[in-house]
Structure 1
Amino acid sequence: MWESCRELIPAGSVFAFLAEHRPVLFPAEMFADMYPSANGRPSMPPQILAAAVVLQALHGLSDFETVQELRCDLRWKAACGLGLHDTAFDPSLLSYFRRRLARSARPHRIFDVVREVVRATGVLRGRHRRALDSTVLDDAVATQDTVTQLVSAIRVVIREVPGAARVAAEQCTAHDYSSPGKPRIAWNDEEARAVLVDALVGDALRLLGRLPEQNLGEKAANAVGLLALVSGQDVEPADGSDGRDGRWRIRRGTASERVVSTVDPDSRHVHKTRSHYQDGFKAHLAMEPETGLITAVE
């Protein structure tokens, strides 16, 4: 594609640069760890997806809009290595690619490549100003209340930690943790809710305190750490208790940096304005104002 339409694509553009240098910037082996399956290569080469997400970020497009450009725009086809009659792919593939990238050992590898190109070309040489900005990224996971989090976290420890099921059978009595639902109580009864929370926290602490001494794998260690976090973030000693007699109640107010879901422990209550918050993540960016190049993200 690039060879047949080279004269139609402006020299010096990002499209021409990617068309010329894409195999060097994004070689196939760069993404080998993201696709460890022995069942063959992915249907869409990841180096094509890498070039596509670079252009997507540059132009601020949605996944659907990105695929439309790949289907209809010669510049995008040449930059990403597609043929004239290629119809690209389903937009969801970009989401799957980003998810694999985020969960990999090197989630910033594409950003690192772009940063190396910026350094090698000297495009930011002498430009020392940076514009700082932040934005809220919505999270689709549902916020969980204290009871749901405690039950969920205990269930994960029982499932992931060797020996935890035996400990739970002996020590955990507040709920049948083989059942994924909430405990059956009169939810409009404040005293019944308080008794349940107290019992669930007691279960969590006894389970944590009696787990066998052992070296834990990553999933098991994360499960134990999450249970320890959620069993303490929403509760405080009950009235007249110093915390040593095992009596607990729901905390008054919201804990700082509260985990809002055991499904996605990194999600938080994010303030969009002083009076409005939503669940998700806050992204921070630094960019060079004249070129618009992003130089750092968190």
Structure 2
Amino acid sequence: MCGVDAAAAARGCAGVDGEDGPGGVPEGALAIRIRDELGELFADERFAAAFGVRGKPGISPAQLAMVTVLQFAENLTDRQAAEAVRARIDWKYCLALELDDPGFDFTVLSQFRTRLLDHGLEELALDLLLATLQDKGLVAAGGKQRTDSTHVISAVRDLNRTELAGETVRAALEALAVAAPGWLATAIDVSDWNTRYGRRVDSWRMPSSKTKREELAGAYGTDGYALLRAVYASDAPGWLAELPAVEVLRVVLLQNYTRTLTSNGREVITRREAEQDGLPPGRLRVASPYDLDARWAVKGEDLFWCGYKVHYSETCGTPPERCAPGGEDGEVPNIITNVAVTHAAVPDVAMTAPIHQALEARDLLPGEHYVDSGYPSVPLVAASRRDYGVTLISPLLADVSAQARAGTGFDRAAFCIDFDTRTARCPQGHTSSSWSPCRQRGTEAIVIKFDTTTCAPCPVRAQCTTARRGGRQLTVLPRELHAAQQSARAEQNTADWQAKYAIRAGAESTMHQAVTACGARRARYRGLAKTQLQQAFSAVALNMIRLDAHWAGHPLDRTRTSHLTRLHLALAA
């Protein structure tokens, strides 16, 4: 039976009013509507770079891309997705398969993802969907967009520093046992080392005594360096040092241990302590030997995670010229236009410019970009308007000086800055004595100082500075940026600005939908590139879910309605 007959069969098995039909296919199933509205969304030619042109024809990469989208839309495993291709009529219709098509083995999906990653095509599905929606007038440049981020927990077990050292030694031993078993048998006492590293570190309980835990950590360091000495010995094969697991072991030992020589030439290996020896910054510190991209991060007082951070950008506040028939009030749904994944330690402000670059490449730059206070800085606000024509709508971080936090002292706003005369005047009428342009953390700034003889006898010194010696010191931005900063801070306190900025709160519902529908807060795969692929396909799936609701005339709920409110509305009706 051909694909057309599969459509009739799919519709015949669909139920009524959202109920499941005899074939288990819901009325107006997502897969059926995707095919009806978008046709053949993906074409094999667009994936040609990742697939050979010689040999026996394989499974259509376009079909595998659509299977992956449907898989993420329903949050299925590879096995479940392969079974759905074999057994579900709505999926067969969407993929234009015959009803008796046997499908494929689930491992094909993993191989497909690997090919996409090897050829840099992890975002191709999202690009193709957005291009199609642009042609249909459902998304366009200009208008309003909003961006927010959330944490993504890595697909590896969380390890403390002791466990990390032990598991890294074990991972190196496993790699050497596969690559050079004969050499390893002569380099170490296999029976003795197997006692310590034969099982994963998380399969047994760590000692409860602090002393024994420190001894265990020291033993891991000693064994690790002993293994590295054997690998780097002159009589060892040179290629052993090039094994990835061995390099990871070298880095982990360097980051977590110190080696010193005593006066009699004895080597002492001790674990690094942050206060005495120092530790690498979190953005550089390896967290797991099995996922080298994952990093530890903290947000607030109660959120600690090891993994990544994902940034979703979507359209919002559809302008009248982009309204389309269908859906609620003829509005088009909010469309996710970009997804960016970083390791967890990258701050949001570092992603503002890359997000704009990605949107520019897709010809989807917004006119107004709504973000929270973690994304902008005063130079970024100016650069976004100058380089991309984008107005960043976001509250700038407030003055965090001691005087501003106290609320009773003289903060920077209390001083009159004169850029023409390169001076500042304090609330008591005194003039600054020093004006020094500089660069702080890569940003142009100006340091203004008041003379000690001026500030020392001042009757309000306690409200102005906490310095025991010297006078008050101010750090301000250059003229244009300082004016923009003062204007923005004044404007964001107005009721009109706050009412306008309220549209950004809708990004939280997008995060909720991504988490509940696609499991976006847990990485399915290991590594930054694979997590980027996961989130890109999740974005395509979320867009499909929203478009399906739009085409069906049943937009997703904008807000939650309590049961009491529903009862009230029912009685009123």
Q: TM-score range by the shorter chain?
A: 0.5 to 0.7
Question: Is the contact made by 1:269 and 1:279 (CA closer than 8 Å) also made in structure 2?
Answer: yes
Question: Is the contact made by 2:150 and 2:309 (CA closer than 8 Å) also made in structure 1?
Answer: yes
Secondary structure, aligned partner of 1:263: coil
Of 262-271 and 227-236, more deviation after overlay is shown by 262-271
Provide Cα deviations, 1:240-266, integer angstroms capped at 9, x if missing partner: 98xx97433233367514433323333
1:83-102 equivalences in 2 (<5 Å): 83-84=98-99, 96=110, 99-101=113-115
Q: CA deviation at 1:278?
A: 3.6
Q: Does 1:294 align with 2:317?
A: no
CA distance, structure 1, for counterparts of residue 312 and residue 112 of structure 2: 18
Q: AA paired with 1:152?
A: R
TM-score (norm 1): 0.64
Question: Is the contact made by 1:268 and 1:280 (CA closer than 8 Å) also made in structure 2?
Answer: yes
Question: Is the contact made by 1:2 and 1:19 (CA closer than 8 Å) also made in structure 2?
Answer: no
- CA gap 1:95/1:247 in 2 versus in 1, 3 angstroms: farther
Q: AA paired with 1:297?
A: A
Q: Does 1:264 align with 2:307?
A: no
The match for 1:227 is 249
- CA gap 1:48/1:41 in 2 versus in 1, 3 angstroms: same
**Max radius of gyration: which structure?**
2
Q: AA paired with 2:141?
A: G
Question: Is the contact made by 1:146 and 1:234 (CA closer than 8 Å) also made in structure 2?
Answer: no
- Which of residues 151, 158, 178 in structure 2 aligns to 1:136? 151
- Which of residues 63, 79, 83 in structure 1 aligns to 2:76? 63
1:43-122 equivalences in 2 (<5 Å): 45-57=60-72, 60-63=73-76, 72=88, 74=90, 76-84=91-99, 96=110, 99-101=113-115, 103-108=117-122, 109-117=124-132
Q: AA paired with 2:119?
A: A
- CA gap 1:70/1:190 in 2 versus in 1, 3 angstroms: closer
1:117-196 equivalences in 2 (<5 Å): 117=132, 123-127=138-142, 129-144=144-159, 145-155=163-173, 158-159=176-177, 165=183, 176=192, 180-181=197-198, 188=209, 189-190=212-213, 192-193=215-216, 195-196=218-219
Question: Is the contact made by 1:131 and 1:286 (CA closer than 8 Å) also made in structure 2?
Answer: yes
The match for 2:372 is none
CA distance, structure 1, for counterparts of residue 117 and residue 179 of structure 2: 22
The match for 1:19 is 39
Q: CA deviation at 1:125?
A: 2.7
CA distance, structure 1, for counterparts of residue 148 and residue 168 of structure 2: 36
Q: What are structure 1's unaligned runs of at least 5 residues?
A: none
- CA gap 1:174/1:53 in 2 versus in 1, 3 angstroms: closer
- CA gap 1:126/1:279 in 2 versus in 1, 3 angstroms: closer
Q: CA deviation at 1:275?
A: 1.7
Q: What are structure 2's unaligned runs of at least 5 residues?
A: 12-27, 317-332, 342-573
- CA gap 1:213/1:181 in 2 versus in 1, 3 angstroms: closer
Provide Cα deviations, 1:133-187, integer angstroms capped at 9, x if missing partner: 3333344433441342342243256357789947x956x789955674279xx95
Question: Is the contact made by 2:287 and 2:295 (CA closer than 8 Å) also made in structure 1?
Answer: yes
CA distance, structure 2, for counterparts of residue 118 and residue 207 of structure 1: 59
Q: CA deviation at 1:71?
A: 5.1
Question: Is the contact made by 1:137 and 1:283 (CA closer than 8 Å) also made in structure 2?
Answer: yes
Provide Cα deviations, 1:51-92, integer angstroms capped at 9, x if missing partner: 1223455xx321168665995564x443322235668678x5
- CA gap 1:279/1:198 in 2 versus in 1, 3 angstroms: closer
TM-score (norm 2): 0.38
Q: Does 1:202 align with 2:225?
A: yes
- CA gap 1:252/1:139 in 2 versus in 1, 3 angstroms: same
Question: Is the contact made by 1:132 and 1:284 (CA closer than 8 Å) also made in structure 2?
Answer: yes
CA distance, structure 1, for counterparts of residue 189 and residue 84 of structure 2: 56
